Homo-oligomer: A and B are copies of this chain.
């Protein structure tokens, strides 16, 4: 019952935000939640919660609230996180290794099923979940074989663009970029950059402002 008006990006971000406290709330025994309560857990305005959710349907019951388990399912449906996504990672130095080992990804359905590196020192390495690091030259073939949908770039900045191009060329439409470079991409593809120093810049700014 998704309305065909434009849904703001910030709404998507907030809906993803709602997911986490909601899961905690369910775990702690809550079955029904009001927009007031959910808003409080997420530090947003209650009307905002209701409006955000109303973009996608009418999930609540007037006078009562939202049924938690149902809302969780709906949100996961909205975010398309109600299924597994097959991911490949390139670059298995410190960050790459940490990402592959990170449990949260799998818990949310993001599954690493292939790993690539250009460094002979890393190729052939055995990773958790039976993954073996393959050379970049195998990327396209493997991506097609395993129907990879998301590529994660954890290579040094110097080869990030080359690696991204390999992903794009293999038909992968979405890339999560942990390298410190801005990536050029075809119009059809999506890139999401993760740069920790951005977060620190923001913290530093706010720290500094309060003298």
Contacts and interface: CB of A to CB of B under 8 A. Distances in A.
Interface of A: 12-13, 16-17, 19-21, 41, 78-81, 85, 94-95, 97-99, 101-102, 104-105, 108, 110, 149-150, 173-174, 176, 180, 182, 190, 192, 194-208, 210
A140 B203 CA distance: 21
Chain A interface SS verdict (over half): helix
Most buried by B among A16, A81, A180: A16
B81 A196 contact: no
Most buried by B among A21, A190, A197, A198: A197
A210 B95 CA distance: 30
Contacts of A198: 13, 16-17
B206 A174 contact: yes
Contacts of A12: 201-202, 205
A85 B200 contact: yes
Contacts of A104: 180, 195-197
